Structure 1
Amino acid sequence: MVTTQSSATPLPPPEERRRLRLSHALTQAQLAARLGVSRATVRAWESGRRVPGGSDGEAYARLLTTLAEPTAAQEPPGKAYGPGSETAPVPPEPLTPAQAFDALYAFCAPALVRQTYLLTGRRELAREVVERAFQLAWQRWPEVARDRDPAGWVRAMAYDYALSPWHRFRPRYRHPEPPPADPADRALLHALLELPPAYRRTLVLYDGVGLDLPETAAETEASTPAAANRLTHAREALAACLPELADPAELHRRLLVLASAERLQAAKPTVVRTGGERRNVFWTRAAIAFTVTIIGATTLTLRTAPTRYEAPIAPAQAVHGVPPPAALGPLSQEEEALRAKLRRATAGPERLAPETR
């Protein structure tokens, strides 16, 4: 079924819808609350995967028109444009890469720190993984800026780094941090950390962030049935520990309360950008130094290596089985008689001749 839009309330392109929302500092959840729809629906409208229609589409179009009115009211005289105007609209001043990155960071970082805290149960680690994800985004900014969902790109990087098994070998993260002060929050966090990492990530994305099942499956790199199976088992495990969380709405509310209770603060975007740049400079210099060391060692080897083959000298070995030399001494009577007889014999032995028959 194809949904048609009313000509009285035309909708701008998906990119413009998102720009209008961000220009008024509105989150997708706030916009969804105004329209009475889910956050996943607003996300699908802004990405272009779904066309707004019906009464929701009309309300969405009217709200976007209202959001665009302050921008049109600021246009100077003679710059108004419409179906019968002769002047073309003046395009907005494009953002620099640093400004676009700072806007994305200001929009996503505070909520992302709270989400990663639900995954790790560690406050400092939550801040660290978010900063590392945004530093990687700044390093690959052309790729991230062209992505259909830059916030999802950064969230996926942060979740991957947060759930890395190598953190357990770091000295600063070998011991658990102080738990939340509220006993209910403490019990929920303990139950979350008892879940397998894949189940915990799926639960936070679906019941915490508010993604729909296909989006959750895509972000966790799993099929939709596999994501649904993980979500079912995670909910059952939580309900076994905390029976009051069997209701998905109550689970969603408790996750928001737990994430907001810690009041985690993210670093400034300029600090993250400069930190990422210093990290890149450090690793670039380290790579250059390592390359120069390899080249120097290779050159030294070529200068000192022999130019022709020299057979190795075999190591000395002891010779066994040689009789010791006889010691000289006086002759016995028999030896003296034999020597005298040999001296008297002037001819050799008689010649032997065959006998004839």
Structure 2
Amino acid sequence: MQFAADEGGPEGAPPDGRRPPVRNPADDPATGFDAFYAARFERLVVQLYAYTGDMAQAQDVVQEAFARALPRWEKLSRYHDPTAWVRRVAWNLATSRWRQLRTFNAFARRQREEHVKGPTPDRVALTAALATLPPKLRRAVVLHYLSDMSVAEIAVQEGVADGTVKSWLHRGRAALAAALTDTQAEVRDV
């Protein structure tokens, strides 16, 4: 249907009957970035997932790339392919994270290397002998001789009298001596 120039057309239509031009949402800086993001986010995540092998990391780097694109959108929107810019930034972020992870893993491996000698036979024998003591005696011996706690401090911690702690220490030393003597006899017999 053609409208006469003097009649005017439907609301918003020019009087000559032509339709107004359709605006591209990317032309409007306010909505352009939202449309750009919505149209390209998933595809970029898939691409970065293929590169990183980790979906969470792919989502993170693509999100970061879009976050960096937002303040530059006015300039980026005029690029022939703004997606290429976002993809390159995401790719660089993923590569940087990979390098950081590689450096961290190398550091962690060095830290896990054993820098102390293994336990001596005496330490193994003492640990085995301590394991044979009842829990109260073992706790008293460990706290007193290895943690350097006084009898009074152990008594407060355990909620008992000083004499009780002294008794536990006496019985613990006697049991340890017997266990260690038995261990030394076994070693000599072998």
Give the TM-score normalised by structure 2.
0.41
Is the radius of gyration larger for structure 1 or structure 2? 1
Q: Which has the higher helix share?
A: 2
TM-score by length of 1: 0.23
Larger RCO, structures 1/2 (Cα 8 Å, 6+ apart)? 1
